[in-house]
Chains A and B, each alone.
Chain A
C-alpha cells in the first residue's frame, strides 16, 4: 500500500435491530482503497460486505440500522460526521455505485437516457440539450448499439446485460474517483458476465477511478482485483495482494474458501468444503468467529479475538497462528 488512499475505513461498527435482538453486522472493519486500485471485498452471505458498501454511500437506514463507531474517511473528511445533505454533496459526484440487480435499480417509468441525463441535471453540470447528448455518448461508450434511439426506451426493453451497461454509464457519468460495484455480474449469464467484466476493466483503465468490487466470486476477484479484503462474520480476516492471496492464502477461512471452490480448469477430485454451518450473526462464538470449523483452533482462539495484524510482507491477517506456516 504505497499508493495514497482514496477511501479509508477505520474500525467501522454497524448493527441492526431485528426481532431476534441486536445483530452486529460489522464488528470493526478497517481497510483502505488505494488510488487507481481495484480492491475486491470478498465474502459469503452475511459477511458484511454489502453493509460496508452501504455505509460508505450513507445508505444504512437508521433505524433499524445504527452506526456504532468508526470512521469512513474520503477526501480528508469523515463521512460519518456529515449530515445526509453534506454526505450526498460529498459523495454524489465523487463516489458512484453499481448495483447487482440493474433492472430493479433503474426507474421503470423513465427512459434510460433521461435517467442518465438526470445525473448531470442534479449535479448542475449541463443544460438539458447537452445532458441528453452526454447521455447518448455514455451509452455508446458502454457499448449500447443504436444508442441515440435506445436512449428513449425504458429499462424493461433492455436485457439484463444492457441494463448493467446503463448502470455503468450512470456510474462513470460524473468521472468519480471511486466506483463501488456491488456484485455487478452476479445476476448475469456467464457470457454476458464476460462482457461486463471487459467493460469494467476498460472503464477502469480509461478513467483511472478506484474500484471497490464487492463479490463472492473468487473467479471475478482473480480476474480483476489488485488487492483483496476477505470478510467473515463482519470482520476483515485477510488483506492481501491478489497474486499472493491465491498462491498462498493466510487465513484458515480463506484457505477453506479456495479449497471448496470447484474449478473449471480441473477435473474431478473431491472438493474440500468448510465443515459445519456458516456463522449465526445472532450467536457468534466468543473470540474468533471462524473458530468452530477451524482446523487450527485452540483455547486461545476462544479467549482472544485475533486482531488484524500487519505482516512483514505488507499483507494483513486476523489469525493468531497465520504467520507460523506462511512466510
Chain B
C-alpha cells in the first residue's frame, strides 16, 4: 500500500490519487452514541496525465463533487493521498499548499454565486495575482485581463463591468478566465455547464475543449450529464455511493461498459432521436440509491443490481480489468466476460 511519491518531472502523471477517503460526520446514534459517518468518498484512486481530461460522472450523492473539493483541499480529507506532480496535496503545509493551488484551479457550477457581486470582473480576475503577488507585475494586470477575456470570447472592455451585467453563459466564461489567470496545469470543473441552456452550454463546452488543447491543460470534469462528459473527456470515471465503480477510456466506457451500474446509467439517458424508440431496450433500475451513511455490505450497487448474488453481499469487488477491455470495474460479474474472480484486496490504485 505505502508506495512512495512518484518522481517529479514530466514522466509521471500530473495527479495521482490513492485510497482517498472523505467522511462527513452524520447523525448521532442515540444521545451518547458516536456520530455515524457519511462516506461521501470512499477509497478512490486514479491518475491523471498531463493534457488529459477525466470526466467524473455519477448521480446526486455519489461523491463526485466531494471528490473535487477534497482534491482542492477545500475541506480536509479523512485519509489517503493525492500527489500533484509528486507532492501530496492533502498533507502540504500552508506555504506548499499555496504553491500547489497556483497550479490547480477550479470552475464552479453556479455562475451566479461564484463571484463577489461588488467586484468588477477585472478585479475578480486580478484577485488571483493579488494573492500570488509574484505571479504577474501589477503594470501588466490590465493588459492580461483584456487578453484573458478575449481568450474566453468576451470583449476586453468588459473588465469594468460587474457580474450582474452578464448572462449565465458569459459569467461562466468569466469563471474560466479567472481559472486561467495563474496559468494552472490542472483545472477542476464542477458541473460547469449544468446551469446553462443547451445552446449556450455548447459554447462553453467548445471553449473548454479549445483552451484545454491550446494550453495542454489537465481537466477534471465533474458532471451528471453523460452526453457532455462523453463529448469532452478522454477518460471517464463512474461513481456510485462514494466509490469509483468503473474507470477507463471514454469510448470503451460508453460503448463496452462492464459494470451494470454504468450500463444502467447509460441506457437511462434519453437519446434525442425518436426513430426506433418503441424497440429501444432500456435498463430501468428499481428504487433509489441507498443512504451513504449506511451503504450496503459488499458491493454497494447490489441492492439495485439485477445480477446480484449472495457473494456480492459478502465481498466487495476490487477495481479490476476483469475482461481485458482496458476499463477497470468493481463488479464480480462484468457483462459478457468470463467471471473468473481475481484474488481480492491486492489492487490499491485505480489506474491502468
Contacts and interface: CB of A to CB of B under 8 A. Distances in A.
A263 interface: yes
B194 to A, nearest CB: 11
A161 B288 contact: yes
B270 A273 contact: no
16 contacts: A162-B288, A189-B289, A190-B226, A194-B267, A195-B284, A197-B270, A198-B284, A222-B274, A243-B275, A246-B274, A260-B199, A262-B225, A263-B272, A264-B226, A264-B230, A273-B203
B269 A219 contact: yes
Contact of A191 (B169, B273, B274, B285): B285
A256 interface: yes
Interface string B253-282: 010000000001111111111110100001
Q: Size class of A's contact patch?
A: 35 or more
Given A257-B199, A260-B201, A273-B200, A265 B271 contact: yes
Contact of B199 (A159, A247, A263, A278): A278
A290 to B, nearest CB: 11
A312 interface: no
A189 B285 contact: no
A262 B193 CA distance: 12
Contacts of B272: 218-219, 221-222, 246, 258, 261, 263
Contacts of A264: 226-227, 230, 254, 266, 269, 271
B197 interface: yes
Contacts of A193: 268, 270
B52 to A, nearest CB: 14
Contacts of A217: 270
Interface residues of B, number: 44
List 8 A-B pairs, minimum CB-CB distance, nearest first. A219-B270, A273-B202, A260-B202, A194-B268, A189-B59, A218-B272, A271-B202, A274-B199
A262 B203 CA distance: 11
Given A264-B266, A264-B269, A243 B224 contact: no
Given A194-B268, A246-B272, A265-B271, A272 B202 contact: yes
A254 to B, nearest CB: 11
Nearest to B169: A277
B315 interface: no
Nearest to A143: B286
B205 interface: yes
A1 to B, nearest CB: 18
B171 to A, nearest CB: 11
A192 interface: yes
A321 B229 CA distance: 36
A262 B205 contact: yes
B156 interface: no
Given A257-B198, A274-B199, A278-B200, A191 B205 contact: no
Most buried by B among A216, A217, A218, A273: A273
Contacts of A274: 199-200, 202
B231 interface: yes
A77 B295 CA distance: 55
B135 to A, nearest CB: 32
Contacts of B268: 190-191, 193-194
A273 B264 CA distance: 29
Contacts of A262: 202, 205, 225, 227-228, 230-231
A237 B303 CA distance: 46
A106 interface: no
Interface in A221-279: 221-223, 225, 242-243, 246-247, 256-258, 260-268, 270-275, 277-278
Contacts of A190: 59, 224, 226, 265, 268-269
Nearest to B254: A264
A304 to B, nearest CB: 24
A218 B289 CA distance: 26
Contacts of A171: none
B339 interface: no
A118 interface: no
Given A191-B264, A216-B198, A257-B199, 13 more contacts: A191-B284, A194-B285, A222-B271, A246-B273, A246-B275, A262-B228, A264-B227, A264-B230, A264-B266, A268-B231, A270-B209, A271-B206, A273-B199
Contacts of B59: 189-192
